[in-house]
Homo-oligomer: A and B are copies of this chain.
Amino acid sequence: MLVLFALPVESLRGKQSASNPHHCEKRGNKERQLWRFTMALKTPLCDLLACEYPIMNAPMRDLGGPRLAAAVSNAGGFGVIQKQYDTPELFREHVKQTKALTERPFGASFLLSFPYEELLQVCFDEGVPYVSFYWGDIPPVIIERCHQHGVKVGQQVGTVADAVECKEAGVDIIIAQGEEAGGHVIGNVSTMVLVPAVVEAVKPVPVLAAGGIADARGVVAALALGAQGVVLGTRFLATPESDAHDLYKEKLLSASELDTHKSLLWGAAWPDAPHRVLRTGFVEAHSGTEEEGQKPAPPDAPTIGTRIVGGVKKEIKPFQGYTVDQTVEGEMDKLCYFAGQSVGMINELKPAGDIVRELVDGARRLIHGELLAFVP
């Protein structure tokens, strides 16, 4: 009965916040705190990462840089950069840029298949409080070094067995990535099944859910599955702050839930690593020939495009899966557009901060409204 009575009050609060999510920023400290209180979506992970909301952007290489990470952190989420193709100097510049854009904590992410040790040192130097890893086993000495520097360690996995190994290795946060996720996808199990299984297997280690989440419904579903937070990739790609090419963003907005494909096609620079991409005409035309792309581009391979890294123009060869950021030019139809199945739910570009606030507000309203009404 008490719960029923409380319902309209909460719903109202939710609606007020939703109608003007920016309003608080013009208010005084006290009112701001009140708004923050009514907007809370807090799990133990928030304390671990010192953020307000357990909402993270996925590492997306050159598609998500300082602007995106800072926008996510500034809104109370937790931003992550992944600039692993750069030199340590360039990486340090990206970290500094992010720090210049936000006073809040953010993280960095590294692929274990490529060099990262020098970049990790930059994280230590610059006080980045969280680093996550993917695609391989983190050497124990690396975890130890992170912990010595007070840095929390995350790892993304696609199986329960790998999650258990992470727990045993001392990983602080485990990201369970469902097969519906965009970009490189290490597993074959859906978010709906993987998350509760991983949560059960590694408790009390906190688990983040990744894959198929693009709105408040997905956030609450992930929490129901036992996750302490969420990682969104495709949703944060369709923002003004992401560094995805405009053409890429247009493609995201027009794609349906059927328009992705888990492929090996772009394997020239990273072989045998399945990745979910938009099912473009190029992808369809190369269906069944994916094995060919699993070796480095031959020296005489044509240049199909260029990208700019640290002010330097670099060539793109066929089936090199470089991210199509704003600096890319060339035969755009032959390039690789990473996206998750949740792309079908994304119909407009939206500032990253608005996304965070809408997820939090929507999750609150969903739990206090619809869900509670089902279990009076």
Contact = CB atoms under 8 A, between A and B. Distances in A.
Contact of A376 (B40, B211, B215, B224): B40
A194 interface: yes
A212 B190 contact: yes
A79 interface: no
A34 interface: no
A40 B224 CA distance: 18
A185 to B, nearest CB: 12
A258 B5 CA distance: 45
B344 A193 contact: yes
A193 B159 CA distance: 20
A220 B368 CA distance: 13
Interface stretch (A56-64, A125-133, A359-367): A359-367
Contact of A345 (B5, B43, B196, B256): B196
A345 B212 contact: no
Interface residues of A, number: 58
Contacts of A3: 2-3, 6, 10, 368
A331 interface: no
Nearest to A345: B197
A374 B43 contact: yes
- Nearest first, the 9 closest Cβ-Cβ pairs linking A and B are A192-B212, A220-B224, A2-B6, A221-B221, A180-B190, A193-B341, A221-B224, A190-B190, A364-B375
A188 B197 CA distance: 22
Interface in A36-79: 40-43
Contacts of A218: 192, 196, 225
Contact of A258 (B159, B213, B225, B345): B159
Which of A41, A190, A344, A345 has the most chain B CB within a 10 Å cutoff?
A190
Given A192-B212, A196-B217, A223 B370 contact: yes
A358 to B, nearest CB: 14
Given A40-B376, A345-B197, A371-B367, A217 B224 contact: yes
Contact of A257 (B6, B197, B217): B197
A367 B376 contact: no
A193 B223 contact: no
Contacts of A190: 178-180, 190-192, 211-212, 341
A107 interface: no
A226 interface: yes
A224 B225 CA distance: 10
A82 interface: no
